[in-house]
Amino acid sequence: MMCGFVGFSNLNKNFTNEDNHFLKQMTNILKKRGPDEEDFYFSKHTCLGHRRLIIIDADNGKQPMSTTYNDSIYTIVYNGQLYNTKEIRDELVESGFDFKGYSDTEVILKAYIHFGTKIFERLNGIFSFAIWNDKKEELILVRDHFGIKPLFYTIVNGTIIFASEIKSILKHPKVRTKLDSNGILEMFGLGPAHTPGFTCFKDIFELKSAHFGIFNKYGFKTYSYWKLESKPHIDDFEQTCKTVQYLLEDSIQKQLVSDVPLCSMLSGGLDSSIIVAYASEHYKKLNGTKLKTYSVDYIDNDKNFVKSDFQPNSDNYYIDIMKNQFDTDHSTVMIDTPELANALEEAMIARDFPGMADVDSSMLLFCKGIREGATVALSGECSDEIFAGYPWFFREDALKSGTFPWSIALNERQKLLNPEISNNLDLKNYVDYRYNESLSNIVFLDEDSDETKEKRKISYLTINWFMQTLLDRSDRMSMYNGLELRVPFCDYRLVQYLWNIPWDIKALNGREKGLLRYIVKDKLPSEIVDRKKSPYPKTHNPTYLKAVKSMLTKIMNDKDAPINNLLNRDYILNILNTDGSSFTRPWFGQLMTGPQLMAYLCQVNMWLEKYHPKIEI
């Protein structure tokens, strides 16, 4: 049930027709997330709105959905997909519950009625939802294990206002758009990542992953329902391989269920190839047809590709191997450079704040192309985070950096700030605080060696920070196009099991994703298994640099551009004059270098112009 929802509740206020009008406006903002249906729930103290993208059980999955039990009326608005629907449904039927249809929405609602909050840990899927109990006058907000589906909230004068996207919250008349010191520290110290639970908007928060919140007469309080558990790994190598293979195949198989056209992304890399290898077999058994696959490429990229340590080869050769061996119905979405630059603003709007520049806008355009032929797509996202696929898992300088290894350009980030702001805000101090705060959550075992402790640290940071940034990107860019994106590698059972596998097994033969490569060596062509990691494809066309440089130059030529209030004009002009080379290290991750930094700065100005935040420092 890929959708978007909004709502607000105040136990000391009786809502009026005017509030109902506001709800409808807020709900309409989410039309791109749910293009198929719209509906509302109005009561004295709570209003709920829902936009629906129909995936399963069109007739019986309508929302908001209400059911009566023991003289209480429970009403749910839900965004997500549950992969163990049948198991939980069967258990509820044995307990005496009956069902109108087979939607996961109805299963979640009745599972909560029966099991209470204990059911949340058992939900295997991607989800966020709100449930209102009219008799208890209690609202429950819930988010999945890894925050794959978004949920934001704010509290103003006793009213809790929540939504799948921040832009819906900002539509409420009581909410003011503000950027304070913490927001600036988040945006420029950590961005496009963010501290779990926080946003760059003052007083607007996200419900943390694996958390639920209860709003009632006592106020609003959040609770954790699950976290990674550190424990000794007792399985031998053979059993470890069998367990990982089972969990991975089971996750992929469960995520192939859909009443609408489904496909898989295919880059020719190890991760997407594994998804396609397993999915193509299961899909043919389920539907008797070929699996649709999609890749993304850029016009003239074949002429302009430049090999690097992070991107050693292009994808097309490997894509051909996969589509031929597994007989998929393959299409390539071609993106031109002007499109990529022009979509930067849409990508920013989809996120509600500056993001990963063209890494975002290309994903947005890729998803737009996929949506022409499918409504659901499987992605290889999250494999690198849980199987140790990034260079920083192996590089001593990254492991010893004392900060987030994908965001080490702290001095350069500090220089970006307007000197008046920079004198009052210490980005490094803030980042250090968030870094150490995060590490304090890790539980080490007595038997953990020094190396194991170091790998636990980098794994924890990667899963809870870098992976979250990519999951945010996947959700916002896909749902902006009404496309549901599923991530089989992010099954919480698989992530939990891998968390405790010893490093020498996980990095088998000293390679990134060594264990994963070993497990699928007989499943995939050797060229795919042995291929060095290559990140999400980006354009190598020099006209992209020219395009974003032109965009940023135009902004800087406007002395009234709002970016001048926040950032160091002279430093930005220096970045322009050197084509970004004066910013000596990547802005974020591995590939956000000169052109991407310029694009990010363009997005910052677009955000300031579009959202008009009141700056409070």
SS3 159: strand
For residue 252, the Cα-to-chain-centroid distance in whole angstroms is: 18
For 232-272, the pLDDT digits (tens) are 999 999 999 999 999 999 999 999 988 889 999 999 999 99
Give per-residue pLDDT as tens, 464-506: 999 999 999 999 999 999 999 999 999 999 999 999 999 999 9
Instruction: Specify whether the CB–CB gap between 357 and 596 falls below 8 A.
Output: yes
- Lookup: tokens for 603: 């997005």
Do 185 and 417 contact (CB within 8 A), yes or no?
no
Burial class, 178, CB count within 10 angstroms (exposed 0-12 / middle 13-18 / buried 19+): middle
Q: Judge contact between 271 and 241, C-beta under 8 A.
A: no
* Paired tokens of 542: 């020099």
Retrieve residue 332's tokens: 């390539």
List pLDDT tens digits, range 128-178: 999 999 999 999 999 999 999 999 999 999 999 999 999 999 999 999 999
Rounded-to-integer distance, Cα 438 and Cα 315, Å: 35
Whether 8 contacts 158, CB under 8 Å: no
- Return the SS3 of 384: helix
CB burial of residue 94 (10 Å; 0-12, 13-18, 19+) = exposed
Q: How many CA atoms lie within 13 A of 171 on its CB side?
A: 23
Q: How far apart are CA 253 and CA 281, in angstroms?
A: 10
Residues with Cβ < 8 Å from 20, sequence gap 6 or more? 40, 42, 47
Which conformational region is residue 149 in: left (phi greater than 0), alpha (psi within -120 to 50 degrees), or beta?
A: beta
Identified catalytic residue from 3, 47, 200, 263: 3
Q: What integer is the mean pLDDT of 525-548?
A: 83
pLDDT at 535: 65
- For residue 403, the 8-state DSSP code is S
What residues form DSSP beta bridges with 52? 3, 37
Strand pairing report for 292-298 and 329-335: parallel
Q: What is the pLDDT of residues 182-193, one digit of tens each?
A: 999 999 999 999
Contact predicate 313/535, CB 8 Å? no
Q: How far apart are CA 260 and CA 483, in angstroms?
A: 11
Model confidence at 309: pLDDT above 60: no
pTM: 0.96
Give catalytic status of residue 47 as yes or no: no
User: With bands split at pLDDT 50, 70 and 90, how would you rate the model's confidence at 12?
Assistant: very high
Preceding amide of 232 cis, omega within 30: no
